[in-house]
Amino acid sequence: MRIWALAWLAAMFASAAQAQPDMARLDHDLRPRQIAERTWVIEGAVADFSRANGCNIINTAFIATGDGVVVINTGPSRGYGEQQRRAIERLTREPVRHVFNLNLHPDYFFGNQAWADRPLQALRGSIAGMQAEGAAYADNLYRLCGDWMTGTEPIPAREAIEPMTLRIGAHTLELKRLSGHTDDDLVLIDTTTGVLFAGGLVFAERVPTTPHADPAAWLASLDTLAQWHAAGVVRQVVPSHGPVHTGERGLQQTRDWLRWLTTLMHESAERGLDLSELLRTPVPPRFAGWAAQPAELHRSLTQWYPLAEQRALEQRAR
């Protein structure tokens, strides 16, 4: 899977590196938006990585609990992390108690340098992935993002956490371990406000990224999230990529995409189509307007389709 992940990153950087805007202004213009009581989100571009958006395509968030701040994701660079920290300090004087990285992908933890004096926490598998792949991520992000990455070094989370209930200030946070987008997907449910920080398990209005994905596990995790919705635990969803929303819109979009994509590959492999033919397949109209289309589709097909072909060959040989 690491080989596929690096291939995905290389393809992503090759497609995005064509953009060469004026890099004189390195201010991300971060504007926290309050979405619930004592809860803010800093929204990234609903787009693919590019110099034009400073590679800021992730939603980060923070909760001022009354007894300290919880930070969720730290962004794609040292500069982002420093600007994120200043934005938080302008809104609250509470000390930061926890900084959570929801998975191993670089835009979730490359701002950790700005928070080196605070507890940097993630699931154990995510930390191992950050340690193993951080240098490769940095090489590629520097090529893609240029000056936006100035001074950035990959600093993995230091403290491994387990699923638990965290009571801090006026808030109760349920920390859950799921999988599918990566092997270790940390999600947070603030049961006080009903806000779900879904990480990379939910995409909204954007094609899901898949460098470490397991489609079957991902669909199972989406079923779990749907159960939380049905139980009334979740009232608002913060995906790491895409707009904040109520209801199950992002969950349904992500499930719909994964089912369509896996079915397409299975049926195409059964028919004996090769990858070049599959890459010319048009997407259904309901997906056509999503961000990062068709780039993410092509990356996923390049990553996954050889495995679908292999399974089809094995099936025929029986």
Number of domains within the chain: 1
Is residue 18 very low, low, confident or very high in pLDDT (cuts 50, 70, 90)?
Answer: very low
User: Cβ–Cβ contacts within 10 Å for residue 289, how many?
Assistant: 9
The structure tokens listed for 218 are: 């991902």
d(CA 216, CA 239): 20
Does the pLDDT at position 23 exceed 70? Answer: no
Closest CA to 194 of 33, 34, 35, 32: 35
Question: Model pTM?
Answer: 0.91
| Burial track 270-281 (b if 16+ CB lie within 10 A, e otherwise) | eeebeeeebeee
Give pLDDT tens digits for 45-75.
999 999 999 999 999 999 999 999 999 999 9
Candidate from 153-157, 294-298, 309-313 with smallest mean pLDDT: 309-313
Give pLDDT tens digits for 80-114.
999 999 999 999 999 999 999 999 999 999 999 99
Most distant pair of Cα atoms in the chain: their distance = 66
Per-residue model confidence (pLDDT) at position 316: 79
Is residue 317 very low, low, confident or very high in pLDDT (cuts 50, 70, 90)?
Answer: confident
Give pLDDT tens digits for 204-254.
999 999 999 999 999 999 999 999 999 999 999 999 999 999 999 999 999
Which residues neighbour 254 within 8 Å (Cβ) at sequence distance 6 or greater?
Answer: 201, 202, 203, 208, 218, 222
Residues of the chain with pLDDT > 90: what percent?
89
Per-residue model confidence (pLDDT) at position 25: 74
Q: What is the CATH number of the domain that holds 36?
A: 3.60.15.10
d(CA 15, CA 22): 18
Quick one: average pLDDT of 135-161? 95
Enclosing domain of residue 158: 2-317
Quick one: average pLDDT of 159-181? 98
Does the pLDDT at position 17 exceed 80? Answer: no
Give pLDDT tens digits for 179-213.
999 999 999 999 999 999 999 999 999 999 999 99
